[in-house]
Structure 1
Amino acid sequence: MTTTDDADVTTEHIAPPLPDDVRDRLVEVVGRDNALVTDDEREEYRDPYWFQEDRSYDSSLVLFPASLEEVQAIVRIADATGTPIWTSSQGRNYGYGGPSPRVRGSVLMSLRRMNRVLEIDHELAYAVVEPGVRWFDLYDALQESGNGDLMLSIPDLGWGSVIGNSLDNGMTYLPLGADYQAPCGMEVVLADGSLMRTNMGSIPGNKSWHLYRKSMGPSLDHLFTQSNYGVVTKMGIWLQRRPEAFAPLYLSVPRDDQLEQAVDILRELKLAGVVTGVPNLQNTITMAHQFPEELGTFVGMEGPASEEDLDALADRTGIGRWGVRTAVWGDRVVVDHHVQRIRDAWGAIEGSRVDLTQVYTDDNWDEMSTFIEKVQAGIPSIDLMDVVPENLGHIGFSPVVPLKGSEVRYVADRIKDLVTTEAGSNFVCAIFPTNDRSCFIVSSVSFDRTNREQWAASFATVKKLVRELGAEGYGEYRAHLDFMDLAAEQHRFGDHAYRRFTRAIKDAVDPNGILSPGRHGVWPAKYLDGDAG
């Protein structure tokens, strides 16, 4: 589906055919049982939401190394032969391209087998993990090692990689999820196969590597998020102690025209320190994931529902046109006080309600049963997938917006208008205040992945959103493989000074351009010069 149309700013890049001798050397590193070599084998490791008959982002080989040394060996062979490699951790970045490479014919390197929890420090409340460690795995390791009183800030789905999610700026919901506070200290394989440790880890034997997020001189952790400057093989992740009390809440917004008011109230609660973590404000269609018994199967890919039908659904279920999933953590007296503060503030929204089934403590912690409760207590699951039709796919359009009701209302309406009229699907929207002053408006444009026409219309719609909202100064916080270049193109200040800077770093640290070329618009010079497909 790649194109050379200037409007889309997406150019197809195809790697030269992988020579048999290079393929054999790479496979030898991991063993034949840990490689997907044939076309049929590789079918199982590509983006499941991409139209399967389109081969724009196919790989030439998939490797599953199990150790740092195997990663280094693969990278050294790739560097010596000019072979592009595209790295993923679990490869479950669905909605943004999954494990598929930007350059067709790249070698995929999946780090799923590097799945060890290397360290858990109870006293300082952190863990150290490899990239194949899923949220499930780290949670289980905490329970099994007697550290169940340490909580992990998690995303909606527990099957993804802790490192992979963090490196793509994926959201998590407990207090450490706000502004990505949990990751700290990385070990990175560079393009020549050498090994680097970020921040204080660059001092041999340093005991603060995973405790202090800065360094003397430039701090490098963030340099490896949404980039292609190295392969992260180890990372520290901060944890928090289980509080005395935990109160999961649902705040309803009965009518769509109350969204602006709800956003402003939520912002003030966050600025006051009453709401911490990352709350999640979703519309009725999206809430099917949270309330399957009331709303049934997720209907995002169906034709747009009328405002009258949505109002009726909101009224019949009591869920509202919008709703906030949030929680309060802390000492019982603090939790009770903050819950009351939330009730008082939210009461200004006519017809709204604040639902709290119960407050959880050590005495009843194991009684949590609903997804809304578990995800905010750091208990991973894949419950959301229970209501997703088998043939559903989606792509995310996710601009960063000031946390002001008027701004959120304007951008949400712009997205809704295009999604319903041009993609022909329901408006699926979740708003995530990732800090006290800004939010992501994540619209999962949904489609039947077996229907080429609907799939193509969805991608065309999102590209139009990127262009039109980009012209108004709004940009995405992450982008799908198929329009990473288009999203990067919107950063035009100073004649694309930011893009020139990131590409200059790329050429300095990866002169042969082998590591995930094109990731988030960061291309090595040889691709821009037309020498690499």
Structure 2
Amino acid sequence: MTATPTQQYDDRMPSLGAEVIEGLVNIVGRDAVIVDRPLLEDPEHPLKDPYWIPDNHRYSPAAAVLPSSVEEVQGIVALAHEHRIPIWTHSQGRNNGYGGPSPRVRGSLNLSLRRMNRILEINEELAYAVVEPGVRWFDLYDELRRRGSRLMVSIPDLGWGSVVGNSLDNGVTYLPVGQDFGAPCGLEVVLPDGQLLRTGMGAMSGNPSFHIYKRGVGPVLDPLFMQSNLGIVTRMGIWLTPQPEVFAPLTLTIAHEADLPAAIDTIRELKLRNQLRGSPCLYNTLMAATMTGAKDAIAAAAQGIMPDEDIERIARQTGLGRWYVRAALWGNREEIEVQLRSVRAAWERIPGATITVSGHYAPDEYESIESISDRILAGVPNLDVIKHKDEGFAHIGLSPLVPLQGHRVQEVVELIRTITHEQMGLNFKAGILVTGDRSCAVVASINFDRRDPVQAAHAYEVGRTMIREVARLGYTEYRTHLDLMDDVAGLLDFNDHAYRRFCERIKDAVDPRGILSPGRYGIWPGGAGPAGGD
């Protein structure tokens, strides 16, 4: 019996053959092709997910190639198309907790774009930059400072990732332009046949509106390349923000777990009235302790599931409360005072709630800010959030997207808490990322020891359970781990999975040989994957 495409993928051994390897070498040079198995499998090397199950090669690449130009990417795609080799593309490969750089299909060619690291443009007047996929948040920030720019960039929690890669996976950033994933604008894309496409106004050669207008003439294509496998993005515009006269980071807390719904509803009303901008985040006591480096609390939590009275004690002693909110105000002094009065009046209606202004900072003071959270909201990239992690630390990110309504958020939080306690035997740690005025992502971290294969495998099974149980409440993920993509795709069931079937029709039309990232977010060529086969 002839093997199905899925079987061919699953059975493929990690070897591309001498002809293909030499073809890659001819395109990019020998030093940009990696075939050494120990290096490809090294969990510390950014070619493999460091948080995957140890000694499990399900998501092992056959080789890796590191182009440094658009022309080299086009050559690699042409070679892969000729030989029917699946390609899995990543930028910096730092998406740990969601699969890192590992390919969904074993034996794929890992296409790393981290050598394409040029900042192509910074436009001071129109407040945007144009970057290649290898540009990190660190790189863009440093270049802005080197130029003495008046602009700042909205960043995520960790500065080592790719500006492009994070954006294409709908990664959250926190300054006002980060709200509703609003910073990316205008893409250049290598299509599966090797042709080059520019979206929006970039479809017209030399149009200066390429990176300032999010639409175009005709269908808007940019979202087709978010969390997709329809092309390889080789440049992207990103909107920047003029540095305000004053940056005022805020810390808001609630004293009682039962007040979480009131906190969510208060934030929603402030957001809808434009009195609280950016992307505020809420962290429960133990996650807040991890985020702020409260060592005693972190050590106590590592000893096993803590009784509620102990968490209550930590909440009081650290001042973190039962939920700690990271937010900020940006503007001139008069604007800050007006916004602060509105936020304070709304927040202090919650009994026992507190609000603290950490300071009033001018742009030249940002790098001297001591608080990890405050530096992030000032657009100063760092790695401080993970600097205290132990050697075996690993996690899986679970992040259902929920309406910004207190009762709905609490229902999801309580479900995730129960599963974390009962099935992992771990303390509940979670963050709530307010992605816009009307929605939030409840981000749960399933922690495990990456040196323990049994514990690691169990963590992924718990992840599946969590996705399934949250779906019973009517919600699904806004981004997901490599190993869980088919599970999530299977939940998109309206009209007999019409969404998936439509995506697969587009995939088969533009990529008939199915070479670009097969299986990404559950979209398989020919409907051949575990989530396909309609």
Task: Say yes or no: does 1:13 pair with 2:14.
Answer: no
**C-alpha distance in structure 2 between counterparts of 1:459 and 1:348, whole Å:** 41
1:6-64: CA deviation from partner (whole Å, max 9, x where unpaired): xxx99983436422211221233222212221211212320000122111100100111
The change in CA–CA distance for 1:529 and 1:253 in structure 2 (over 3 A counts) is closer
Partner of 1:287: 288
Q: Give the match's secondary structure for 2:283.
A: strand
Kept in 1, the 8 Å contact 2:430–2:444? The answer is: yes
Q: 1:499 to 1:362 in 2, by over 3 A?
A: closer
Q: Name the CA distance, whole Å, in 1 between partners of 2:156 and 2:335.
A: 25
The answer to whether the 8 A contact 2:285-2:322 is kept is: yes
Distance in 2 of aligned mates of 1:190 and 1:295:
51
Q: Secondary structure at the match of 2:492?
A: coil
Which deviates more from structure 2 when the two are superposed, residues 57-66 or residues 519-528? 519-528
Give the corresponding residue for 1:246.
247
Q: Which amino acid aligns with 1:504?
A: R
Q: Which among 97, 100, 105 is matched to residue 98 of structure 1?
A: 100
Q: Is the 8 A contact 1:294 1:317 kept in 2?
A: no
What residue is the counterpart of 1:108 in the other structure?
Answer: 110
Letter in 2 for 1:82: R
* Residues 398 and 445, structure 2, Cα contact 8 Å, conserved in 1: yes
User: Where does residue 354 of structure 2 map in the other structure?
Assistant: 353
- Deviation at 1:181? 1.1
Measured in 2, the distance between the counterparts of 1:406 and 1:362 equals 39
Matches of 2:278 and 2:454 in 1, distance apart?
40
Contact 1:243 1:331 (8 Å CA) reproduced: yes
Q: Distance in 1 between matches of 2:245 and 2:262?
A: 32
Larger mean CA deviation between 217-226 and 335-344 belongs to: 335-344
Quote the Cα distance in structure 1 between the aligned partners of 2:273 and 2:299: 35
Summarize the alignment of residues 157-172 of structure 1 with structure 2, pairs less than 5 Å apart: 157-172=158-173
CA shift in 2, pair 1:11/1:96, >3 Å: farther
Corresponding residue number in structure 2 for 1:48 = 50
2:341 counterpart SS class: helix
Deviations along 1:351-372, one digit per CA (max 9) or x if unpaired, are 2211112111246445322212
Q: Which residue of 1 aligns with 2:3?
A: none
Corresponding residue of 1:331:
332
- Alpha-carbon distance in structure 2 between the residues aligned to 1:298 and 1:217: 56
- 2:21 matched residue in structure 1: 23
Residue matched to 2:175: 174
Deviation, 1:467, is: 1.4
* AA matched with 1:60: A
Alignment of 1:113-132 (within 5 A): 113-132=115-134
Aligned to 2:221: 220
Look up the equivalent residue of 1:163 and give its one-letter code: V
Q: Give the CA deviation at 1:129.
A: 0.2
- The corresponding residue for 2:34 is 36
Give the aligned residue type for 2:408. E
CA-to-aligned-CA distance 1:403-459 (integer Å, 9 cap, x gap): 010000000100110111102222120001111111100101111111222212211
TM-score for the superposition, normalised by structure 1: 0.95
CA contact (8 A) 2:297 2:314 kept: no
Query: What SS does the aligned partner of 2:387 have?
Result: helix
Which stretch shows the higher mean deviation, 374-383 or 286-295?
Answer: 286-295
Change (3 A) 1:318 1:363: same
Residue 428 (structure 1) aligned with residue 429 (structure 2): yes
> Matched residues in 1 for 2:521 and 2:10: separation?
14
Q: Aligned residue for 1:395? A: 396
Task: Give the residue type in structure 1 aligned to 2:352.
Answer: G
**Offset at residue 349 of structure 1 (A):** 2.0
Specify the code of the residue in structure 2 equivalent to 1:64: L
Question: CA distance change for structure 1 residues 287 and 347 in 2, over 3 Å: closer, same or farther?
Answer: same
Mean Cα displacement is larger for which, 215-224 or 297-306? 297-306
What's the TM-score, normalizing by structure 2? 0.94
Q: 1:523 to 1:124 in 2, by over 3 A?
A: same
Instruction: Tell me which residue corresponds to 1:77.
Output: 79
In structure 1, how many angstroms separate the alpha carbons of the residues matched to 2:527 and 2:342? 57
Q: Distance in 2 between matches of 1:298 and 1:378?
A: 30
**Kept in 2: contact 1:126–1:236 (CA 8 A):** yes
Conserved in 2, the CA contact under 8 Å of 1:135 and 1:380?
A: yes
Q: In 2, distance between residues paired with 1:364 and 1:143?
A: 13
Aligned length: 523
CA offsets per residue over residues 138-193 of structure 1, 9 Å max, x none? 0011111221x201000000000000000000000000110111100000000011
Task: State the shift of 1:275 in Å.
Answer: 0.7
1:5 aligned residue: none
* CA distance in 2: counterparts of 1:434 and 1:332, whole angstroms: 26
Counterpart secondary structure, 1:252: strand
- Whether the aligned pair in 1 keeps the contact of 2:486 and 2:530 (CA below 8 Å) is no
Separation in 1 of the partners of 2:335 and 2:526? 55
State the alpha-carbon separation in 2 of the partners of residues 429 and 55 from structure 1: 30
Mapping 1:289-304, distance limit 5 Å: 289-293=290-294, 295=296, 297=298, 303-304=304-305
In structure 2, the CA distance between the partners of 1:10 and 1:136, relative to structure 1 (3 Å rule), is: farther
Q: Is 1:57 matched up with 2:41?
A: no
> Do 1:288 and 1:387's aligned partners in 2 also have CA atoms closer than 8 Å?
no
Q: Alignment RMSD, CA only? A: 2.1
Corresponding residue SS for 2:62:
strand
One-letter code aligned to 1:260: P
Deviation at 1:528, TM superposition (A): 4.3
Q: Are the equivalent residues in 2 in contact too, given 1:121–1:127 (CA < 8 A)?
A: yes
**Rounded Cα–Cα distance in structure 1 between residues aligned with 2:231 and 2:310:** 50
- For residue 438 of structure 2, what is the aligned residue in structure 1? 437
Q: What is the letter of the counterpart of residue 49 of structure 1?
A: Y
Report if aligned partners of 2:251, 2:358 keep a CA contact under 8 Å in 1. Answer: no
Q: Does the 8 Å contact 2:24/2:33 carry over to 1?
A: no
The 8 Å contact of residues 301 and 392 in structure 1, kept in 2 or not, is answered as no
Instruction: Specify whether residues 529 and 439 from structure 1 end up closer, same or farther in structure 2 by C-alpha distance, changes over 3 A only.
Output: closer
Q: 2:449 aligns to what?
A: 448
Work out whether residues 10 and 486 of structure 1, in 8 Å CA contact, stay in contact via their aligned partners in 2: no
Asked whether the 8 Å contact 2:91–2:113 carries over to 1, the reply is yes
Corresponding residue for residue 6 of structure 1: none
Q: Which moved more, 1:353-362 or 1:226-235?
A: 353-362
Contact 1:371 1:383 in 2 (8 A): yes
Contact 1:111–1:132 at 8 Å: present in 2 too?
Answer: yes
Q: 1:88 aligns with which of 71, 78, 90?
A: 90
- Residue 359 of structure 1 aligns to which amino acid in structure 2? H
For residues 11 and 300 of structure 2, the distance between their equivalents in structure 1, rounded to whole angstroms, comes to: 36
Q: Percent identity?
A: 48
Task: Indicate how the Cα distance of structure 1 residues 497 and 334 shifts in structure 2: closer, same or farther if over 3 A, else same.
Answer: same
Residue deviations 1:269-318, cap 9 Å, x none?
11111111100001111112332146564777763222121111111211
Counterparts of 1:418 and 1:181, CA distance in 2 = 33
SS at match of 1:213: coil
